[in-house]
Amino acid sequence: MSRTNIDIDDELAAEVMRRFGLTTKRAAVDLALRRLVGSPLSREFLLGLEGVGWEGDLDDLRSDRPD
């Protein structure tokens, strides 16, 4: 783990701390980062991947499925 100095919104940090019973801003930031990383990718992000170069044949992939 590394140490980083950041400017954060005190009201947002306080709200996270209140909602989750946390006692430090560090814990609030850690929780927020872990939840963000663990959340599914957003629709907008996934749509942004359209056309990035996947090449394949879906019909061929589907032919391997048992009926």
Q: What mean pLDDT value characterizes the chain?
A: 86
The percent of residues in the chain predicted with pLDDT above 90, rounded, is 42
pLDDT value at residue 41: 80
Nearest in space to 18 (alpha carbons), one of 8, 6, 31: 31
The answer to whether 16 and 22 are in contact (CB under 8 A) is yes
Please state the pTM of the whole predicted model.
0.57
**Which is more confidently placed, 58 or 2?**
2
- What letter would DSSP give residue 66? -
Residue 56's pLDDT band, with cuts at 50, 70 and 90, is confident
For residues 25-44, give the mean pLDDT: 88
Domain ranges across the chain: 10-50
